Structure 1
Amino acid sequence: MSARTRTGTERLLRALRRTLLAIFGAQLVLAIGMSLVDSYRRRGKKAKAFPITPPRTVEIGEGTITTYTYGRDLYEDMLAAIEGAQRQVLLETYIWKGDEIGERFKRALAAAADRGVEVYCVYDGFANIVVSPRFKRFPATMKVLRYPAYPAGWRFFDLRRYGRNHRKILVVDDEVGFVGGYNIGTPYATEWRDTHVRITGPGVWDLKRAFADFWNLHRRRRLRESERPLLMETPSTWEPRIRLHRNVPRLWMFPIRSMYLEAILRASRNVWITQAYFIPDQDFVDALKEAARRGVDVRILVPLKSNHIVADWLSRGYYSQLLDAGVRILRYRDAMVHAKTSTVDGAWATVGTANIDRLSLTGNYEVNVEVIDEALAKALEEIYRVDESNCLELTSAEWEARDLHRKFTEFVLAPLRPLL
């Protein structure tokens, strides 16, 4: 190759690199700008009321599962469980705000520790980076693990160490456990529509194992009492209708995506999904389209406007495919719907912390409970119908008639989907 040819090739490569960087930079600037504008517009806006479904309990084997769709109901029962604890409390959360609700949980946990209860807490450092450092000072009687904002350390090349801890778990005395989408904070008590479940019976032990495994995998390796391994003292009894699925990026385990896909591929009657941030991969979209085309009633309920505007725009990139296949898209009004639930054929259901996006399904620490039980599926379907009464359905005609600038924005942001 001549020197002239090499010089031409190098110039072409440089131009190509600069073009790609410019495109990526424009995408980031657009995403950041949209987020800032949306945040400014939300300032001072008061939350509106939305329909709620009271807690409902169903019996499953030797235990029960109670559904919650209103934060205040959930928090009261969680706090009551902590206040009644006699031996051990395990709390894990993604966001733990330093507001009124956050302080109530902190006081209840500290009081439990003071009366001799073992109290273990885990929270995500990045998610709480704006929370006051003073709030994050806990009594020495509590064993607290702050999952670091940057967990990779010097192993920046190891992709297994970048997942955020997005789980929300509470286990008290091996007798009761809570899991679902609710973080801890005052806005979630009345302003957000989310879903959580309370579990009693053998299913509680799986939640405890999930907490203990995370604690032991990430505890700081020192000799202090608070940093010793959390020992398991639970029987290995199985409740075949309840299974706990955990995404563990450190171990390269991501079963939740497989759980969803298997249920969708087996569906013969209906697939009803509620998601806060719906940014699936193409294989997931294809599974939903195929289900709709074989006559399954496929519905996806998402926020009309979520708290992450960029996620909304990225989600819309799949609407044309889904609508063309016969999938119904329902947009929840007046409140942020943060639930991560699904029911299939009136017999299968899941409630958990994982969104249907790349971060949750192949990136973060997540936990979903899978239940094969008609009574629970029926309860969640009734919740879905109540939520549906507060939705605007998106039609194909409405979607195709959207403005040109909206189509352009979707096109520009599309390459960011694999990142979220």
Structure 2
Amino acid sequence: MPRPALPSRSARLPRLAVTLPTDTTWAGVRRVALRAALTAVAVPVATGLAIMAGERLRRHRHPLDAPFPTAPPTDAQVGRTTTTVYTSGHDLYDAMLEAIRGAKHHVFLETFIWKADEVGQAFKQALADAAARGVAVYVVYDGFANLVVPPSFFRFPRAVHVLRFPVLRPGILWGGIRYSGRDHRKLLVVDDEVGFVGGYNLGDLYAAHWRDTHLRLEGPAVWELRNSFVDFWNRWRRPRLPVLQDVGSPSWLPQLRAARNAPSDLVFPIRGIYLDAIDRATSHVHITQAYFIPDREILAALLAAARRGVDVRVLVPERSNHVVADWLARGHYATLLRGGVRIFLYQGAMIHAKTATIDGRWSTVGTANIDRLSLTGNYEINLEIVDRDVARTLEDVFAMDLGNARELTLAAWERRPAFQKVGERLVAPLGPLL
């Protein structure tokens, strides 16, 4: 008897209707994805521009020019190095110019912003005069930060060696952090005997209308600043500029050290010294910041300190010169306040200091803000000091500044208008840029 014929393999399998996407379908997907991406970028950017426009109108009516308290320069001895804390731009500039005018061997000046105003001209003339009497003068300034300054201002006599840190560098568009950082440092070294470092840029505005903090060193620890300048100069100098020699240091001062961020080497120790110091806190943490946009780890460290009973206080400007940074900072306020961190808002003027003191023992003064640009982006330098006298001075400065600030409470913050809450969320994606 013949066997029945089996259906073919293809006949035994269920037929599946598979529709391959056409070119038109893929084009539609790409269009939707592109629109979504553009919207994700456009919304925070548009929000930021609107905030900036509103602040510009507000500043025209209510400028940040209110008077504020300052303290006289205060000395402390750290080993064989004398430190002096400055809170007045006039006092600081007088001391810096006196050092330059008394220079005998060399002057190293590095700054982020250098205005072509009365203060800026005084520094330029002092450097030119020093070079004319045979002092070796080396100057570094950031090209991007000074785009609005007339280029003619930075034309020095041939005897002055000038390094303009370039706006554009090879690899800046595709090379990541190594090629994107700005030179945000502000330091001066004279004859390896006197050095200055801190938040002050050079200009009339900073002398009179910004509350900032700078530190002067006299003694062996000046090497910390010299070494930082020499390394940066030799890394970025052009062939026509001379090489600076690294002289080494016979003195070690472990309680006063410089932490230097160097994006080209992917070295960012300043963030580490903050995290280590906050983790050690048992009594109090006092932080003053111009732009306070903490990352996840620093935020967690501050909250952990508050949970274990540490009195954590953060002083920031109620209004700064970068309004978008203010709004990004405000996105963290609710978390900080609910976690027991106290926030104080400086009134009527810009506070630009980058300082902290912990438990009456540890302090830092320098150029780095607690934000992404400073901690993992720019060239920065902060001094880390373990000394009770320096800490006491900075605690007194902090108390003085609190006298010109108001405390922000959680209840008051939660009552802010709804449009502010929406704006904070919309602008939040810009956080990684600042």
Give me the TM-score of the superposition, normalised by structure 2.
0.93
User: What corresponds to 1:85 in structure 2?
Assistant: 103
Spell out the pairing of 1:293-332 with structure 2 (5 A cutoff): 293-332=307-346
SS, match of residue 127 in structure 2: helix
Spell out the pairing of 1:140-219 with structure 2 (5 A cutoff): 140-150=158-168, 152-153=169-170, 156-159=173-176, 160-219=178-237
Structure with the greater alpha carbon radius of gyration: 2
In the alignment, structure 1 segments of 5+ residues that lack a partner are none
8 Å contact kept, 2:193–2:219: yes
Task: Identify the match of residue 379 of structure 1 among 393, 404, 408.
Answer: 393
User: What corresponds to 1:102 in structure 2?
Assistant: 120
Tell me how far apart the structure 1 counterparts of residues 67 and 57 of structure 2 sit (CA, whole Å): 22
Letter of the aligned partner of 1:339 in structure 2?
A
8 Å contact kept, 2:64–2:349: no
Tell me how far apart the structure 2 counterparts of residues 293 and 158 of structure 1 sit (CA, whole Å): 40
1:363-404 per-position Cα deviation (integer Å, ceiling 9, x unaligned): 000000000001100100000000001101000000111110
1:29 is displaced (CA, Å) by 2.0
Say if 1:154 and 1:397 are closer, same or farther in 2 by CA, change over 3 A: closer
SS, match of residue 412 in structure 2: helix
SS, match of residue 182 in structure 1: coil
Tell me how far apart the structure 2 counterparts of residues 376 and 13 of structure 1 sit (CA, whole Å): 59
1:254-283 per-position Cα deviation (integer Å, ceiling 9, x unaligned): 000011000001111111100000011111
1:155 is displaced (CA, Å) by 5.8
Tell me how far apart the structure 2 counterparts of residues 262 and 9 of structure 1 sit (CA, whole Å): 51
Tell me how far apart the structure 2 counterparts of residues 68 and 155 of structure 1 sit (CA, whole Å): 36
Spell out the pairing of 1:336-375 with structure 2 (5 A cutoff): 336-375=350-389
1:53 is displaced (CA, Å) by 1.2
Relative to structure 2, which stretch is displaced further, 157-166 or 39-48? 39-48
Task: Identify the match of residue 54 of structure 1 among 72, 87, 104.
Answer: 72
SS, match of residue 197 in structure 1: strand
Tell me how far apart the structure 2 counterparts of residues 355 and 49 of structure 1 sit (CA, whole Å): 24
SS, match of residue 295 in structure 1: coil
Spell out the pairing of 1:380-399 with structure 2 (5 A cutoff): 380-399=394-413
Letter of the aligned partner of 2:284 in structure 1?
N
1:186 is displaced (CA, Å) by 0.4
8 Å contact kept, 2:90–2:208: yes
Relative to structure 2, which stretch is displaced further, 33-42 or 91-100? 33-42
In the alignment, structure 2 segments of 5+ residues that lack a partner are 1-17
Tell me how far apart the structure 1 counterparts of residues 64 and 25 of structure 2 sit (CA, whole Å): 60
1:318 is displaced (CA, Å) by 0.5
Spell out the pairing of 1:204-353 with structure 2 (5 A cutoff): 204-221=222-239, 224=240, 227-353=241-367
User: What corresponds to 1:39 in structure 2?
Assistant: 56
Tell me how far apart the structure 1 counterparts of residues 400 and 368 of structure 2 sit (CA, whole Å): 22
1:232 is displaced (CA, Å) by 2.5
Tell me how far apart the structure 2 counterparts of residues 91 and 39 of structure 1 sit (CA, whole Å): 33
1:313 is displaced (CA, Å) by 0.2
Letter of the aligned partner of 1:142 in structure 2?
V
Letter of the aligned partner of 1:374 in structure 2?
R
User: What corresponds to 1:29 in structure 2?
Assistant: 46
Give me the TM-score of the superposition, normalised by structure 1.
0.96
User: What corresponds to 1:408 in structure 2?
Assistant: 422
SS, match of residue 135 in structure 1: helix
**Over the residues paired in the alignment, what is the CA RMSD in angstroms?**
1.4
1:229-267 per-position Cα deviation (integer Å, ceiling 9, x unaligned): 111335242111101000000000000001100000111
SS, match of residue 152 in structure 2: coil
SS, match of residue 145 in structure 1: strand
Letter of the aligned partner of 1:309 in structure 2?
V
1:24 is displaced (CA, Å) by 1.1
Letter of the aligned partner of 1:292 in structure 2?
A
Say if 1:100 and 1:20 are closer, same or farther in 2 by CA, change over 3 A: same
Identity of aligned residues (%): 52
Tell me how far apart the structure 1 counterparts of residues 140 and 386 of structure 2 sit (CA, whole Å): 29
8 Å contact kept, 2:372–2:432: yes
1:145-183 per-position Cα deviation (integer Å, ceiling 9, x unaligned): 000111x22563212011000000100001000000000
Say if 1:305 and 1:109 are closer, same or farther in 2 by CA, change over 3 A: same
Letter of the aligned partner of 1:149 in structure 2?
V
1:405 is displaced (CA, Å) by 0.3
Does residue 135 in structure 1 map to residue 149 in structure 2?
no
User: What corresponds to 2:94 in structure 1?
Assistant: 76
8 Å contact kept, 2:116–2:153: yes
Tell me how far apart the structure 2 counterparts of residues 46 and 301 of structure 1 sit (CA, whole Å): 17
Tell me how far apart the structure 1 counterparts of residues 34 and 404 of structure 2 sit (CA, whole Å): 47
Say if 1:400 and 1:5 are closer, same or farther in 2 by CA, change over 3 A: farther
SS, match of residue 287 in structure 2: strand
1:190 is displaced (CA, Å) by 1.1
SS, match of residue 4 in structure 1: coil
SS, match of residue 134 in structure 1: helix
